[in-house]
Every structure is written in structure tokens, then in C-alpha cells.
Amino acid sequence: MRNIFTFLAAAALVSLVFASCTKCTTCSYTYKYVGKDSTRLYPEQCGNKKELDNYREMVNIDAATDNGATVTCNESK
């Protein structure tokens, strides 16, 4: 019985630790269009570090097509 309780307590602790690893970020980039500043907003993305790194990389690739674009990402959670 003690082993089952220990296992359940460990499983609950692990699930709490990994649930708190989820973070969210929202990115945008600003660029010049016909002499004026324009901004492209992206939807909020939540996930682990790898997913958020992929999201930021996608935004940077998109921004690279607009010369002089400035990327901004805001973390939340």
C-alpha cells in the first residue's frame, strides 16, 4: 500500500512540475511600408521551449522578407 501511495505522490509531483513549464509568447514585427511604419501581429503561442523557439524563428523568417523589420516578442505566464 505504501508503494502505491509513493508512486501516486511522485506522479502528481511530476505532473505539477511539467505543467508549469508551459509558457506563452506573442510576437510581432514592425516594418516600413510606403514610408510609414506598419506592424504585423501574430497570435499568441503557448508551449514548451522548443515550440516557442520554432515560433520565434518563423516570425524572424517572415520579418527577413521586409528589409529593416524589427521583431518584438512578449513573454507571458
The secondary structure of 20-49 as a DSSP string is TT-EEEEEEEEEEETTEEEEEE---EEE-H
Note whether residue 28 is domain-resident.
yes
Structure confidence by residue, pLDDT tens digits, 32-64: 988 899 999 999 999 999 999 999 999 999 999
Note whether residue 53 is domain-resident.
yes
Cα–chain-centroid distance for residue 53? 7
C-alpha cell at 70: 524589427
Q: State the pLDDT at residue 15.
A: 60
Nearest to 26 by CA among 59, 49, 62: 59
Domain assignment of residue 68, given as a range: 22-76
Q: How many domains does the chain have?
A: 1
Nearest to 58 by CA among 43, 68, 48: 43
Note whether residue 7 is domain-resident.
no
Note whether residue 38 is domain-resident.
yes
The pLDDT confidence band at residue 6, using thresholds 50, 70 and 90, is confident
Note whether residue 51 is domain-resident.
yes
